[in-house]
Each structure stands twice: as structure tokens, then as C-alpha cells.
């Protein structure tokens, strides 16, 4: 037995058998992506905020294992029913900091959970060791703040009905494997942003490789969920990372229609890295 459903403007057929695949497509996608009928939505038994935290931590675990993006997409579909529906778009953007290439920022990828009737957008970053040059002078095995707070935000081109958001960062040993930032610094229908304290630690380079720097915010991602509005839109977004050192800090984050701003405590010792636009998805 089959029935018809829509994601965006495209209908997909559901085969209702134990071995059936749920095929979810959306306008703008290059091909259909399949999620098995046995997958379990991340929202099952969780509130909206708990679901966003769970998805963010789940993706953090996959990235810490070194999984490439195609494997992450496959895992999210197979296990959390999150089917990627954007058409790819740009992948990353690298910024040159005061000390060289310092961060890779990934624009939001957009997913659909048919069981929960929710869209999820996941963006992220990865810092290079160049930020060790922003560390205050210190001895070995001493943890220090690298300036004040850094910031990260995601913004979309269209107004959306946001249902939740979360940010998780994870660092190098001996820092904790991952941590969630409790409260957003900014959130509205166009996206959300956070600020958090980055820390550094110089360790003994036993192997002589030159790799003697550790940070608590090596990588991270933001997850934003939103629901159907009844009006179909072509949606895409970008992400931005704001870094500080010395006496400078991120004092605030602003998010508007396809725009992100950081408020700084001083006019120096800072940089901002913005991703290229992410892939486009038709959401309704």
C-alpha cells in the first residue's frame, strides 16, 4: 500500500512494508535521499531543546571520529531520520587571521525529519593551531583564556518558524570532549548566535612534531530547527565565527536577514570569518 506526502512541492511515495524505504525529496535537491523506515527520530521522547542538543552532540561525536560529510549525512538519515534536502552549495570558507589561516567555517546544511515534521540546519567550524599565537605567555600545562569570548552564528535569507537551537563545541585532550552552550546570545526568525570562552594550553611535545597546542573549542557546530510555515520558500544560509585575543571580547551577537554582526569590547585584536552560502532547499 502506498500513500503520497509532500516535502516542499515534490511528492514522494512511501512503501508501507517492514523493509520499505522512506524517500524524501525537495525542490532544489540533486537527488532523492532515502532513510530506512526503522530509523527513530531524534525528537522521540525529547523536548524541542533536548532534541537540538541531542542532534548537536550526535554530530559532534561523528566529527570527532573524523567522519567525512557524506558519511555524516548517511548516518543522520539511517539513525535519526534526518534526510539532507539542500542542493549542496558551497562547502567551506577559510579566513586568514593575524597569524595565518586559522578557521574553516561550514555553512548550514539543511535536513528534513518526516517523523517529527521538522527541518534542521547544521553549520560548524574547525580552528587551526594558528590561534596559539594569540595565547598569553604561559608555561606548559597551564590553561589560559584566549582573550574574551568568541562568537558563532548562523543566518538565513528568509524568515523561518524556529522551534529550537543549540551549539556544541569540543576540544583537544585534556579538555572535555564536548560542551553545550546553555543560552543563545541572539535568536529570531532569521537565525541564532552564541558566545563562549575559548581557552588554550601548551603541552610538552613528546613526539617532536611541533603539535604542542590544545584548545577547548577546536571544532563545533550549531543546530537550528524550524517547522513548516505553509508558504514555500527557497532557503539558504551562512555562518560566521568571531575570534578575539588580548583584552578584546565579543560582547554581543546580532542576527538579521542574511546578516550576522559581532559587538566587540575594543576595536583591535579580533577577526571575523564568514562562510560562503550553503545549499538551497525549498521548505514549506
Adjacent-strand bridge partners of 195: 151
Average pLDDT value for residue range 6-28: 32
Listed in sequence order, the residues at least 6 apart from 96 whose beta carbon sits closer than 8 Å to its beta carbon are 102
pLDDT score of 8 more than 50: no
Lowest mean pLDDT among 97-101, 209-213, 276-280: 97-101
Within 10 Å of residue 278's Cβ, how many Cβ atoms? 27
Mean pLDDT score across all residues of the chain = 84
Q: How many Å apart are CA 15 and CA 209, to the nearest integer?
A: 54
pLDDT on residue 14: 28
For 121-142, write each residue's pLDDT tens digit: 999 999 988 888 898 888 888 9
Give the DSSP letter of residue 131. Answer: G
pLDDT on residue 38: 82
The three cell numbers locating residue 160: 523561518
Share of the chain above pLDDT 70, in %: 81
Report field, pTM of the whole predicted structure over 0.95: no
The three cell numbers locating residue 163: 522551534
Lowest mean pLDDT among 116-130, 169-183, 191-205: 169-183
pLDDT on residue 209: 65
pLDDT score of 17 more than 60: no
pLDDT level of residue 64 (50, 70, 90 thresholds): confident
Residues 186 and 153: beta-carbon distance below 8 Å = yes
pLDDT score of 78 more than 60: yes
Q: How many Å apart are CA 208 and CA 202, to the nearest integer?
A: 14
pLDDT on residue 212: 84
pLDDT on residue 138: 85
**More confident site: 176 or 248:** 248
Q: How many Å apart are CA 146 and CA 126, to the nearest integer?
A: 16
pLDDT score of 216 more than 50: yes
The three cell numbers locating residue 125: 567550524
Amino acid at each position: 500500500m502506498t500513500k503520497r506526502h509532500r516535502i516542499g512541492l515534490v511528492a514522494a511515495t512511501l512503501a508501507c512494508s517492514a523493509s520499505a524505504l522512506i524517500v524524501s525529496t525537495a525542490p532544489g535537491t540533486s537527488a532523492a535521499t532515502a532513510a530506512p523506515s526503522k530509523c527513530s527520530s531524534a525528537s522521540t521522547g525529547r523536548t524541542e531543546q533536548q532534541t537540538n542538543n541531542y542532534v548537536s552532540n550526535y554530530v559532534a561525536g561523528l566529527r570527532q571520529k573524523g567522519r567525512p560529510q557524506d558519511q555524516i549525512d548517511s548516518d543522520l538519515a539511517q539513525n535519526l531520520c534526518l534526510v539532507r534536502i539542500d542542493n549542496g552549495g558551497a562547502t567551506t570558507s577559510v579566513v586568514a587571521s593575524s597569524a595565518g589561516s586559522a578557521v574553516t567555517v561550514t555553512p548550514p546544511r539543511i535536513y528534513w525529519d518526516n517523523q517529527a515534521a521538522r527541518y534542521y540546519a547544521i553549520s560548524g567550524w574547525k580552528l587551526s593551531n594558528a590561534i596559539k599565537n594569540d595565547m598569553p605567555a604561559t608555561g606548559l600545562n597551564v590553561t589560559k583564556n584566549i582573550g574574551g569570548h568568541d562568537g558563532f552564528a548562523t543566518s538565513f535569507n528568509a524568515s523561518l518558524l524556529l522551534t529550537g537551537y543549540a551549539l556544541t563545541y569540543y576540544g583537544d585532550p585534556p579538555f572535555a570532549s564536548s560542551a553545550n552552550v546553555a543560552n543563545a546570545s541572539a535568536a529570531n526568525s532569521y537565525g541564532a548566535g552564541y558566545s563562549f570562552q575559548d581557552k588554550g594550553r601548551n603541552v610538552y611535545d613528546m613526539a617532536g612534531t611541533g603539535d604542542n597546542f590544545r584548545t577547548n573549542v577546536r571544532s563545533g557546530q550549531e543546530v537550528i530547527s524550524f517547522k513548516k510555515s505553509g508558504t514555500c520558500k527557497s532557503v539558504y544560509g551562512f555562518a560566521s565565527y568571531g575570534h578575539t585575543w588580548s583584552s578584546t571580547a565579543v560582547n554581543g551577537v546580532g542576527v538579521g536577514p542574511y546578516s550576522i554582526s559581532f559587538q566587540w569590547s575594543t576595536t583591535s585584536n579580533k577577526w571575523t570569518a564568514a562562510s560562503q552560502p550553503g545549499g538551497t532547499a525549498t521548505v514549506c
